[in-house]
Amino acid sequence: MTNDGSAQTLLILGASGDLTARLLLPGLGALLAAGDAPPLTLLGAGTEDWDADRWHQRVSDAFGDHREAGPAAKTLENTRYRSADVTRPEDLRRLLEDVDGTLSIFFALPPAVTAKACEALLDVDLPKGTRLVLEKPFGTGSASAAALNRLLTRLTPEEKIHRIDHFLGKSTVLNILGLRFANRIFEPLLNSEHVAGVDLVFDEDLALEGRAGYYDKAGALADMIQSHLLQILALLTMEAPQSLDAGVFRDGTAEALRATRLWGGDPKQSSLRARYTAGKLGDRQLPDYVDEDGVDPARETETLAELVLAVDTWRWAGVPFRLRSGKAVANSRKEAVITFKEPQRLPDGLSGPDGPNRLRIGFGPDRLELDFTINGPGDPFVLDPITLRADFGPGDLPPYGEVLRGVFDDEPLLSVRGDVAEQCWRIVEPVTKAWHDGEVPIVEYPAGSDGPENSHLDV
């Protein structure tokens, strides 16, 4: 624990919502139970008029097995909920009356409501040192992200603003740093001289799962690629940071993303948008995406997106980075695959498979695999493919526990800096514009298949 142990308050705006129940409170429960948080007052606010018992039950259910652990039990005992319209300054002032110690405000709200709540906070005296914790999507494009950034810095300094990307709280993702910079053997090969291409894939065997309210307005590109996958890309491509000091580290990721752009500049060539049609996913029969409850077909929301990007630095020039995320795909694949160039030549007399070496970093299951070629069993002059495999140990905390620890410790390492949030929109904007203008027609793939046929992926 690096916080000084003095009292803190976490105020969740949007406390009756899905994110709070499914991810935020369970992460908080684990963090408290681990003894890694300060004494914490938990306040919840939402428009619904919940009584104390209902809120207590919500928190208790979400804390699960952690609910009895000392600090978690104490927070649970004192937690309170108030109904409020958080877009009204007078309601926000009332919520702040209950604050004890340093305040963190978590905006677990629909994005448009978050922006309004921040405007309302301009008319409220925020306690000094207040932290603002914001969820993705951060704005709807680079201009709106910039406007939101300007608004936030009128409320509190940048170092108190935590733009959450819970992928950065995943231990496997952070293992990329250890893998690259704590080993001699991989890093010297990670450049255009040796790497042919990188595939960064996050395919899910889940469909809409009743979340049309959020997802149908976001789509796969904004939900996954513009946020999470670009952060992983930055970790894969950044130069070695001198330290993990947040300033130094985030300069490194920002530099990599500033150099990132659409491969060839043409969204017709370098992007793909698709949505699922009826099909069997596991033992479930799914309808067409457009027939799912709450979906508006006129939005033409994609459930699978692909982008090919260039990271235009000395190290990576000429290496395509293929990013993809899709829903309702049979093969739930979550990994970064670095494909190396083939050896210049094989000695005459050796024969066998001529597949390339590949380094695979799996984000679930969390593992590392290295595909290479050796003289296998049998004829020693015939080569065989082999895979070395290592499992990553699980992190101590779930991603939201990790992220909240960063907030309570005033450690923004795991949150996205304002300029980086704008860069991430800048990277995808030529694509969103081309899609919006109908230049890249949406294609279809049956739910439960491997996705559309004209994929850019190499593996």
Which residues are known catalytic residues? 228
Q: Which CB sits closer to ligand NDP, 44 or 418?
A: 44
The one among 4, 48, 193, 379 contacting ligand NDP by CB under 6 A? 48
Task: Give 439's Cβ-side CA count (13 Å radius).
Answer: 14
**Residue 214 binds ligand NDP (CB under 6 A):** yes
**Residue 416 binds ligand NDP (CB under 6 A):** no
Q: Which CB sits closer to ligand NDP, 224 or 274?
A: 224
Peptide bond into 26 cis (omega under 30): no
From 19-27, 54-62, 229-237, 315-323, span contacting ligand NDP (CB under 6 A): 19-27
The pair of structure tokens assigned to 13 is: 């705006």
333 Ramachandran zone, left/alpha/beta (phi>0; psi -120 to 50): beta
Footprint of ligand NDP on 74-103 (CB under 6 A) = 84-87
Which positions ≥6 away from 157 have C-beta within 8 Å?
none
Cα-Cα-Cα-Cα torsion 431, 433, 438, 443, nearest 10 degrees, comes to: 30
**Residue 108 binds ligand NDP (CB under 6 A):** yes
From 40-48, 92-100, 148-156, 229-237, span contacting ligand NDP (CB under 6 A): 40-48
Q: Which CB sits closer to ligand NDP, 47 or 140?
A: 47
Q: How many residues bind ligand NDP (CB under 6 A)?
A: 27
- Rounded (to 5) percent helix, strand, coil in the chain: 40, 25, 35
What's the closest the beta carbon of residue 136 comes to ligand NDP, in angstroms?
5
Q: Which CB sits closer to ligand NDP, 14 or 401?
A: 14
**Residue 163 binds ligand NDP (CB under 6 A):** no
What's the closest the beta carbon of residue 188 comes to ligand NDP, in angstroms?
37
What's the closest the beta carbon of residue 415 comes to ligand NDP, in angstroms?
14
297 Ramachandran zone, left/alpha/beta (phi>0; psi -120 to 50): alpha
Helix (H) or strand (E) holding 252: helix 246-258
**Residue 8 binds ligand NDP (CB under 6 A):** no
Give the three-class secondary structure for 296: coil
Are residues 148 and 115 in contact, defined by beta-carbon separation less than 8 angstroms? yes
The one among 39, 89, 101, 110 contacting ligand NDP by CB under 6 A? 110
Are residues 305 and 273 in contact, defined by beta-carbon separation less than 8 angstroms? yes
From 64-72, 107-115, 142-150, 268-276, span contacting ligand NDP (CB under 6 A): 107-115
Complete DSSP assignment for 356-399: PPEEEEEETTEEEEEEEEEE-SS-TTBEEEEEEEEEPPPPSS-H
Which residues of the shown chain bind ligand NDP in the complex (CB under 6 A)?
13-14, 16-20, 22-23, 45-48, 84-87, 108-111, 113, 135-137, 213-214
